[in-house]
């Protein structure tokens, strides 16, 4: 049951959701014109993702505490996953190409948005799709557009990570692409979007708050030809950063 305070915040959540839709639509429309006049470029991808992410963080009152953003663009970013809100943070500070399920193509604006942002769709059960995904990741990184993969494959409440999927690490190991682990910790654990909770229900409960706080840390780049060792090292580094964040917060 929602508390009286949460209900009182519903109007703010509504206007935030409305503005997210408006901003997304504007960026997609402007990007569509840019795409058809000048063609795809790293500048288009970077500007679209960065403006989109920073605008939504501002509108939603999300305050981010972070360490130094990686200077390189030639990497695969591997964050733990708590919520759809993670996407805005990554877009704001590390404007990368996301790897997502093929079903997402049917979401509003996403077909055109994917072309603007270099999003990569994959059907995990299709071997040919996985091969195509590997080639697209290599191509994206070679254009200095980093790629984001959530290795857990789903969201969790934490405090540490869930078991990682192997496929993304095999791609990174085979292609020799550095992996940068990333730890994401929402101060309010209820900001995590998990289980069967609906998007709208969660957004109205959590995004009506005046301010939400999240702490993120980028780890050290990892390269290894053995995908199993790369997976273990990445997970250890993310869990280590999460433990450190929680420890620092408690002092």
Q: Is the pLDDT of residue 174 over 70?
A: yes
Return d(Cα 218, Cα 213) in angstroms, integer: 17
Percent of the chain whose predicted confidence (pLDDT) is above 90: 71
The per-residue pLDDT for 159 is 93
Return d(Cα 213, Cα 77) in angstroms, integer: 21
Q: How confident is the model at residue 125 (pLDDT cuts 50, 70, 90)?
A: low
Q: Is the pLDDT of residue 3 over 90?
A: no
Q: Closest Cα to residue 17, out of 207, 240, 177?
A: 207
- DSSP characters over 18-32: HHHHHHHHHHHHHHH
**Mind listing the domains of the chain with CATH numbers?**
4-250 (3.40.1130)
Choice among 6-15, 98-107, 142-151 with the minimum mean pLDDT: 98-107
Angle between helices 167-175 and 227-250 (to 10 degrees): 110
Measure the N-to-C terminal CA separation of the chain; round to a whole number of Å: 32
The per-residue pLDDT for 2 is 67
Return d(Cα 24, Cα 193) in angstroms, integer: 21
Residue that the structure tokens 């557009």 belong to: 145
Residue that the structure tokens 């703010």 belong to: 12
Q: Closest Cα to residue 73, out of 169, 148, 125, 185?
A: 148
Residues 5-20, mean pLDDT to the nearest whole number: 88
DSSP state of 122: E
Average pLDDT, the chain: 90
Cis peptide bond prior to 159, omega within 30° of 0:
yes
The per-residue pLDDT for 105 is 67
Q: Closest Cα to residue 216, out of 117, 85, 48, 96?
A: 85
Q: Is the pLDDT of residue 1 over 60?
A: no
Tokens of 154: 């789903």
DSSP-assigned beta bridge partners for residue 179: 76, 222
The per-residue pLDDT for 196 is 86
Q: Cβ contacts of residue 66 below 8 Å, gap of 6+?
A: 93, 215, 216, 217, 218
The per-residue pLDDT for 111 is 78
Q: How confident is the model at residue 124 (pLDDT cuts 50, 70, 90)?
A: low
Q: Is the pLDDT of residue 251 over 80?
A: no
pTM: 0.91
Return d(Cα 46, Cα 34) in angstroms, integer: 13
Tokens of 109: 């604006």
Choice among 51-60, 104-113, 220-229 with the minimum mean pLDDT: 104-113
Q: How confident is the model at residue 121 (pLDDT cuts 50, 70, 90)?
A: confident
Q: How confident is the model at residue 250 (pLDDT cuts 50, 70, 90)?
A: low
Q: Is the pLDDT of residue 108 over 70?
A: no
- DSSP characters over 148-214: E--TTSS----SSPPPPPSHHHHHHHHHT--EEEEEEEESSGGGS--TT--HHHHHHHHTTSS-EEE
Q: Is the pLDDT of residue 215 over 90?
A: yes
């Amino acid at each position: 049951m929602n508390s009286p305070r949460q209900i009182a915040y519903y109007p703010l959540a509504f206007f935030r959701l409305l503005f997210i839709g408006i901003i997304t639509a504007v960026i997609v429309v402007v990007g569509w014109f840019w795409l058809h006049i000048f063609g795809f470029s790293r500048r288009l991808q970077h500007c679209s993702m960065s403006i989109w992410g920073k605008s939504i963080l501002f509108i939603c009152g999300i305050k981010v505490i972070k360490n130094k953003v990686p200077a390189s663009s030639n990497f695969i970013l591997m964050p733990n996953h708590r919520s759809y809100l993670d996407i805005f943070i990554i877009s704001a500070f590390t404007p990368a190409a996301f790897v997502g399920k093929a079903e997402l193509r049917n979401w509003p604006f996403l077909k055109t948005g994917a072309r603007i942002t270099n999003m990569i769709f994959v059907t995990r059960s299709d071997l040919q799709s996985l091969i195509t995904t590997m080639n697209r990741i290599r191509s994206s990184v070679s254009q200095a557009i980093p790629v984001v993969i959530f290795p857990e494959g789903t969201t969790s409440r934490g405090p540490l990570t869930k078991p990682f999927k192997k496929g993304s690490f095999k791609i990174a190991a085979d292609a020799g692409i550095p992996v940068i682990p990333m730890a994401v910790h929402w101060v309010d654990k209820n900001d995590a979007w998990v289980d069967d909770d609906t998007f709208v229900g969660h957004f109205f409960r959590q995004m009506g708050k005046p301010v939400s706080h999240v702490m993120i840390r980028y780890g050290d780049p990892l390269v290894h030809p053995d995908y199993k060792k790369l997976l273990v090292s990445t997970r250890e580094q993310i869990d280590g950063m999460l433990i450190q964040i929680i420890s620092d917060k408690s002092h």
